[in-house]
Amino acid sequence: MCCVWIAAIVIARANAGLATDDPSVAMSVSDTVVMGIAFVGLALLLAGALMPWQPPRGGGLVGSVVFSVVASGLVADGRVVAWDAAAAILTAVGALAILQARNRWMGIVPLGIACGLSPLCASALVVLLLPSAHGRRRAADALPVVAIGVAVAWVLHLTIGRLPGAAFAVGSDLNRIGPQNLWRFVAWWLDLGMPALVFACVAAALRFFGDAENIAATRSLAVWLGINVLVGVFLPRVVLCHGLLLLLPAFMLTSSGYLAMRRLPVNRSHWTLSLFSAVCLVLPFALLWTSLRKAGEIAVVSLGAL
């Protein structure tokens, strides 16, 4: 269902792009295919379906639903480009592989390629660099791969002259750094990404108090999210176009946040506390309305274009 929804919105966005003369809204067929595959893959990944080693968890479905709806809002808002989506799924695959302590190359290679596609993926390297039993070795292995990935991407960029990924728009965006853009992204991010951030904040806070299920993984994701927030605040123009990448750790924390919130007290003899728990659980889903509305609008525009 999530896959159908996100694929439909990507197609709707592409159709809506065809109906306008605005070049920033237009999407090519290849862009649409790449974005569609990447989003469907991410939805499946977050649901736990694409990774056989990921234990089945009830939160996976919620993580996938939240991602699908928020991502559809981002797509409808025109803030996501195809190569961002590709970089996002590579980053997610790499980060999950590393966090679950599988073959380290299964994590390092996708991360290297992702960093080549978008420098904004570099913040995901904290999952490699944070202290752990194998952290130093993993970091020593990863950094050359990441450097090679970035170098190849830049060489391609310079020689071909066309961006292999919209990530290199970062170069032109850097001159927009400054207080005049501060908060623009944060306001936008908070509007659309709030449901995922609510769950992520709960998971991160429980990690702070030592109550998280998987402490090491949650900590890495929380630090990664923290770095992304700082990037979002200080590089606002950049992230206006690349918000998906910066919200990625929040999506990855959603399932654990949801699972934690299911443990909120529900007691028939203490109904006010139960009411509080219900509001806490319902609120993030209610916040999905903003994204749903945006996605609905683009769907209507697309239908009109047909």
Residues that bind another protein (CB under 8 A): 179-180, 182-184, 186-187, 190, 194, 198, 201-202, 205-206, 208-211, 215, 260-261, 263-265, 269-273, 275-277, 279-280, 283, 287
Which of 158/187 has CB closer to another protein?
187
In the chain, DSSP assigns E strands to none
Half-sphere exposure of residue 106: CA atoms within 13 angstroms, side-chain side: 11
Rounded Cα–Cα distance for residues 287 and 302 (Å): 24
Which residue number, 134 or 211, has a Cβ lying nearer to another protein? 211
Minimum gap (Å) between residue 2 Cβ and another protein: 24
Asked if residue 66 lies in contact with residue 254, where contact means CB atoms within 8 angstroms, the answer is yes
Q: Using CB atoms within 10 Å of the CB of residue 42, give its burial: 0 to 12 exposed, 13 to 18 middle, 19+ buried.
A: buried
| Residue 238 CB, nearest approach to another protein (Å) | 17
Which residue number, 10 or 235, has a Cβ lying nearer to another protein? 235
Which amino acid, residue 231?
V
Closest distance between another protein and the C-beta of residue 231, in Å? 17
Between 47 and 194, CB nearer to another protein? 194
Q: How many CB atoms lie within 10 A of CB 194?
A: 19
- Distance from the first to the final alpha carbon of the chain: 23
- The residues, any chain, with a CB within 8 Å of residue 33's CB and separated by 6 or more, are none
Nearer to another protein, 154 or 276 (CB): 276
271: left (phi over 0), alpha (psi -120 to 50) or beta: alpha
Residue 172 CB, shortest distance to another protein, in Å, is 21
Q: Which is nearer to another protein, 280 or 300 (CB)?
A: 280
Supply the minimum distance, in Å, between the C-beta of residue 92 and another protein. 24
Cα–chain center distance at 7: 16
Rounded to a whole number of angstroms, the minimum distance from the CB of residue 222 to another protein is 13
Q: Kindly tell me which of 35 and 204 has the beta carbon lying closer to another protein.
A: 204
Give me the least distance between CB of 255 and another protein, in Å please.
16
Contact 197, 246 (CB under 8 A): no
Joined tokens for residue 258: 């949801």
